[in-house]
Amino acid sequence: MSATLRVFAIILLFFCVTCFARERIVVVANVKNTALKLSRQEVRNLFMGGASEYALTAIALPPENLTRVLFNTRVVGLTESRIQSYWAQMKFSGRRQQPKELQSEQSVLDYVKNNHNAVGYLSSAMEIPNELTILFEIK
């Protein structure tokens, strides 16, 4: 790839991320306690395999998904490459298992809806069914 094309691709990526930076993301769960709310740190721990007082199962989107990029940037605070490196270390050491990945926001929504204690993040543009609880909202 030529240097000019590379610069153009970086500018285009920056523009796309900037345009979608205003996109809100919601963390939803299928839980009995509909009053349950989580802090940013609790959500981060949940999706990074950290300790949690709740028996929740995190469901993630694939690395190329824009909602995942925004979630990682705003909540986890790491780039995708750093997150992949972290999970490679955890897998090698056998300490933690990364969240199950589903291919689309609709599949995450369907999975969470059909599995008790499942948690996923979605764009606020998705219609969230009443039976799911919004645990955290990223503005």
Domains of the chain and any CATH numbers: 23-138 (3.40.190.10)
pLDDT tens digit sequence for 49-75: 887 888 999 999 999 999 999 999 999
Q: What is the mean pLDDT of the chain?
A: 87
Q: Considering only CA atoms, which of 74, 15, 20, 12 is closest in space to residue 47? A: 74
Q: Which of 85, 76, 92, 1 lies closest to 43 in space, CA to CA?
A: 76
Q: Which segments of 36-94 are extended strands (E)?
A: 57-60
What is the pTM for the complete model shown? 0.81
Taking 80 as the threshold, does the pLDDT of residue 1 lie above it?
A: no
